[in-house]
Amino acid sequence: AQSVSQHNHHVILSEAASLELGCNYSYGGTVNLFWYVQYPGQHLQLLLKYFSGDPLVKGIKGFEAEFIKSKFSFNLRKPSVQWSDTAEYFCAAGATSSNTGKLIFGQGTTLQVKP
Amino acid sequence: KAGVTQTPRYLIKTRGQQVTLSCSPISGHRSVSWYQQTPGQGLQFLFEYFSETQRNKGNFPGRFSGRQFSNSRSEMNVSTLELGDSALYLCASSLNGQTYEQYFGPGTRLTVT
């Protein structure tokens, strides 16, 4: 069965700390991978995406993620978090072989950054 | 470019009623996907429409249905509402749904009493 799992449900960090959020996926074929962020009171926004090529992808607001095929992982990282990064983060996967517009989401990780 | 818009933003309905939610995609986007977001189940895929055709459906009962119009606008309908249908319903649009990145609207918060 297709699934996406996020390791941490709730993360609390102080400003300037480094961030790494884990994401693992289980899919029958090749996948496109995404990280979305939902700031308080706002809608889901795309942080970054991986389709193919360089496994290290850079997104908006200083975020990056690394695709490791052998580990079925797509972890999100940021060297130094800010209070404004407080939000819920979702990892998502979609099959590259289908034309169905279906994304499978992880359960989400709530990040709280203390000033 | 205007983003994805959803109407209404908030809705309160009674058990047994039906409801219709609307989604207008980003101009030029032909694929519209719908998701249900709840604290317990997270984000779950409902269905996707492309060129007025439903191409895929998630694991939801037949009470959940949708359609897409020739201008790519989409509606979803839930009949015979149950308390468990209370959720945030999100619409997302993409160029053609081929797992291109999806852009999400603000959602419709449905409360069933």
* pLDDT tens track for B2-37: 899 999 999 999 999 999 999 999 999 999 999 999
Q: Report which residue type is found at B48.
A: E
pLDDT tens track for A41-99: 899 999 999 998 999 999 999 999 999 999 999 999 999 999 999 999 999 998 876 65
Whether B31 and chain A come into contact, CB under 8 Å, resolves to yes
CA atoms within 13 A on the CB side of A28: 4
> What pLDDT does B65 receive?
97
Q: Measure in Å the smallest separation between the Cα of A81 and chain B Cα atoms.
A: 24
Query: What does the block give as tokens for A10?
Result: 């709730």
pLDDT tens track for A2-39: 899 998 899 999 999 999 999 999 987 788 999 999 99
DSSP class of residue B84 equals G
pLDDT band for position B99 (50/70/90)?
low
Question: Quick one: CA dihedral B103, A22, A33, A49, positive or negative?
Answer: positive
Whether A96 and chain B come into contact, CB under 8 Å, resolves to yes
Q: Cis omega (within 30 of 0) on the bond before B106?
A: no
**Choice between B99 and B94, residue whose per-residue pLDDT is larger:** B94
Residue B63 has pLDDT above 70, yes or no: yes
Residue whose C-alpha is closest to residue B48's, from B7, B80, B106, B94: B94
* Interface touch A44/B45, C-beta < 8 Å: no
Whether A90 and chain B come into contact, CB under 8 Å, resolves to yes
C-beta separation of B22 from B80 below 8 A: no
> What pLDDT does A104 receive?
93
- Give the number of beta-carbon pairs within 8 Å between A and B: 68
Residues in chain B closer than 8 A to A108 (CB atoms): 42-43
